Amino acid sequence: MRLIKFLLLGFIALSLSGCVPNMFWDGGKDITEIIVMKEQRRLYLMHKKTVLKSFRIDLGFAPRGHKAVEGDGKTPEGRYVVNRYNPDSKFHLSLGISYPNNKDRARAQALGKSPGGDIFIHGQPNKPRRLKKDWTLGCIAVTNEEVEYMFAQVKRGTPVHIYP
């Protein structure tokens, strides 16, 4: 038992000293923006011009183009902010994105439709199911471990730039 405690304390000490890599350690730098590159299927957590983390993503089931109306399966493109956190999401955890903005509402209204809403960066479904590429209804999906990191590190108001 003493050996186990000794090894555990040693591992903790090494982790804190930086000798053991920690995928969640970002050097204490704040996340100043989130960049999403839809075509590359990548999400970047940025500190100014430095990439702190990069995650592979899945998008809406019809990812090409900007989200125009509710139910189109597209992930929005443009400038938004993280505006809420949902610990009770049906997709592990989720961070809300401020879609739709005024421009999105006007575009949908011109079509006589609703722009939709509830666009999130979220983890995997809580009810396991077989997933294919680009399986969301318009959200940005990452792994549960990655969304846990973002849930803890990304502040409300953080800019989210979503590119084609």
pLDDT digits (tens, 9 = 90+) for 18-75: 444 444 455 578 999 999 999 999 999 999 999 999 999 999 999 999 999 999 999 9
User: Which superfamily is assigned to 26-163 in CATH?
Assistant: L,D-transpeptidase catalytic domain-like (2.40.440.10)
Task: Tell me the C-alpha to C-alpha distance, in Å, between residue 130 and each of 22, 57, 124.
Answer: 30, 16, 11
The predicted pLDDT at position 160 comes to: 98
Is the separation of the CB atoms in 36 and 57 below 8 Å? yes
Asked if the model's pLDDT at residue 125 lies above 70, the reply is yes
Closest alpha carbon to 122 in 158, 154, 86:
86
- Helix segments in the chain, DSSP class H: 2-17, 102-110, 144-153
Question: Does pTM surpass 0.75?
Answer: yes
Task: Tell me the C-alpha to C-alpha distance, in Å, between residue 133 and each of 58, 66, 153.
Answer: 6, 18, 27
Residue 130 confidence class, pLDDT cut points 50, 70, 90: confident
Asked if the model's pLDDT at residue 6 lies above 60, the reply is no
Asked if the model's pLDDT at residue 150 lies above 50, the reply is yes
